[in-house]
Amino acid sequence: MTELLIRSDAADPARPAVVLPEPPTRRERWARLGRLLGHRPGLVAAIVVVVLVLLAAFVPSLLAPGDPNTGVVADKLQAPSGAHVFGTDYLGRDLYTRVVHGASLSLQATLIAVVVALVAGGLIGLLAGFVGRWVDEALMRLVDVLLSIPAILLSLALITALGYGTVKVAIAVGIASVAGFARVMRAETMRIRRSTYVEAARSVGTRWYVSLWRHVLPNAAGPVLVLAVLEFGLAILAVSSLSFLGYGAPPPSPEWGSLIAEGRNYLATSWWLCAMPGLTIAATVLSVNRISRALDGEWSRAR
Amino acid sequence: MLGYLLRRLGTAVAVLWAAYTAGFVVLWLLPGDPISTMASGGLDGEPLTPAAIEALKARYGFDQPLIVQYGTRLWAAVQGDLGASIQTGRPVGSAIAEALPPTIQIALGGLLVAVVLGTGTAVAATSTRLRWLRQLLMALPSLAVSLPVFWVGLMLVQIFSFGLGVLPSVGAGGFSALVLPSVTLGLPMGALVAQVLAKSLTTALDEPYVQTARAKGVGRGAIHLRHALQNAAIPALTVLGYVAGNLLAGTVVVETVFTRPGLGRLTVQAVGVQDIPMVQGIVLFASLVFVGVNLLVDLVYPVLDPRIARGVPAAA
């Protein structure tokens, strides 16, 4: 009987049971991306800035072949010009070279911070959302407490316990921003866990960990990754603040925050020492935020 | 109303206790140990003898099991005793109290800047009919939160102190020394207020009561300022606890930039020498402020929206 039914269904290709939208081909996706970017010059500029910063972080010698820690003392404290685009500092070191080489330290710290926050917050949220009941209650109260202490103070408390250094600052910033990830991950997990397809998978005997891996994680990834990009911008600011306060890499390492702290002593005479690294940070954060906004909604709306 | 009050008070106490515990876990369980820093002569003193180390440990209670330390410290904290600073040996509570007045000055200044700038931007952005002006005003907050706070402070010093010479760059003397720190501190918070308020104002202006008021002949400005703004203020008020906590935390950077005395400088110094009781005291104080302001906001809600006090769920 069942066989008959199936055969009759299969024999009628003109009337499929469910109409699925055609998945976009590769070409259509590129066309969509082109349309999206064509109307948004700001977004294109943001992508260019981020690509440049990433290049600076991974292959700094490509953008600035010189050595960031040696300078010609005779050329000290020169204003920006053709030879030194960002000017030179009190030891005659080229500021542009130092900013470019500083990108790798600063971005490394930012990346560690975001990964720490993503993994720790994601796990907390996943656990809370998937197990529910008292586990959920307990973990979410923990998150509330994390939210009641301002992030920079929490980071400072962690630095007091951990000590100084780029990686320690990064971990401190990461732990201070766990709460946001935990909340989003929990909300996503709960939404997906109650969905019909997970219920269907359950009813045919799929184990909970398979369901977690195959259904919940891939579907929760989107919103969490958007948050990760947004958090990246915030983490750049937090890491550079702590580095400005002197908790990052020891001098002469050219971290973005400590470059500004160095330039502070020459504020009255040499404006570029603070302005240029600061503008670099601002441009990077603005671009990252712009991309995060594009990922958040404009991509799915631009059809 | 009394039940509402008691519930809020209970939550506040629970959050404070949890924040203290979180501070304890972070600061006392992790590897950094102030006694060993002192023992190795790490700060500026001579290396200590083993007997002196034992005496120090006994004095600060480090020789007892952690759970006992936690119990005694928590009980002391409940009674208002936050312990003694390892760096100076003075009580943490009075050190915080002494550092507070200059910090309160710039925090209040920052709050004023945040509220004025935030409300001004939001009202202007939602009331203008010029498309470009509206878009410009709406874009300002996201620009402001992308700038590093310490850099904004330094640039303001550059322009107003060194360039124009109108405001002092450092120190804590007089009203004019308050302007630049307050603006630096208030700017990112103003951006937050502007974002939240602009969103809720836009929603409020779409409500039927606005149309009714319009139909009855009330002017645009009156609708905006009297009807919509009052209702839109509730979501903006919600972020005020967050704003207050962050104004306090922001002083860490701002007081360093402007070389002002205060709680922020105290924090930076305490972190620099691993003064654990001091850092924990400051963390507890910050969460006390956060909880206190949130409690205040909770008390103002029923005044703005009487439905909350009567337990009627507010219309979505």
Q: Is residue B56 part of a domain?
A: no
B12 located within any domain: no
For B166, the domain range is 103-274
Domain-embedded: residue B279: no
Distances (CA, A) of B116 to A175, A193, A272: 33, 44, 31
Query: Are the CB atoms for A50 and A66 separated by under 8 Å?
Result: no
Per the CB < 8 A criterion, the answer to whether A247 and A161 are in contact is no
Least confident range from A54-68, B198-212, B254-268: namely A54-68
CA dist., res. B314 & res. B242, Å (int): 22
Is B266 inside a domain boundary? yes
In three-state secondary structure terms, A253 is: coil
What's the pLDDT at A117? 92
Q: Is residue B96 part of a domain?
A: no
Which parts of chain A sit beneath pLDDT 50? 1-11, 13, 303
Residue B145, in any domain of the structure:
yes
Q: What is the pTM of this model?
A: 0.81
Task: Report the pLDDT value the prediction gives residue B173, as an integer from 0 to 100.
Answer: 66
Q: Would you place residue B246 in the very low, low, confident or very high pLDDT band (cuts 50, 70, 90)?
A: confident
Q: Between A and B, how many CB-CB pairs are < 8 A?
A: 133
List the domains of chain A with CATH numbers. Answer: 40-302 (1.10.3720.10)
A148–B291 CB contact, under 8 Å: yes
Residues of B with CB below 8 A from A233's CB? 146
A169 at interface of B, judged by CB pairs closer than 8 A: no
The encoded tokens of residue A236 equal 């750049």
Inter-chain touch B148–A289, beta carbons under 8 Å: no
Confidence (pLDDT) at A10: 45
Instruction: Spell out the long-range contacts of A41-48 with Cβ–Cβ below 8 A and sequence spacing 24 or more.
Output: A42/A290, A43/A290, A43/A291, A43/A294, A43/A298, A45/A287, A46/A286, A46/A287, A46/A288, A46/A290, A46/A291, A46/A294, A47/A287, A47/A291
Q: In total, how many domains does chain B have? A: 1
DSSP SS3 for A88: strand
Residue of B25, B136, B146, B267 for testing the chain A interface, max A β-carbons within 10 Å:
B146
Q: What is the pLDDT of residues B90-119, one digit of tens each?
A: 888 888 888 888 888 888 889 999 989 988
Query: Is residue B46 a part of any domain in this protein?
Result: no
CB contacts, 8 Å: B158 with chain A? 267, 271, 274-275
**CATH code, domain with B166:** 1.10.3720.10
Residue B8, in any domain of the structure: no
Written as six digits, the tokens of B56 are 């120090």
User: Cβ separation of A153 and B250 shorter than 8 Å?
Assistant: no
In which residue are the tokens 């529910």 written?
A132
CA-nearest residue to A284 within chain B is B146
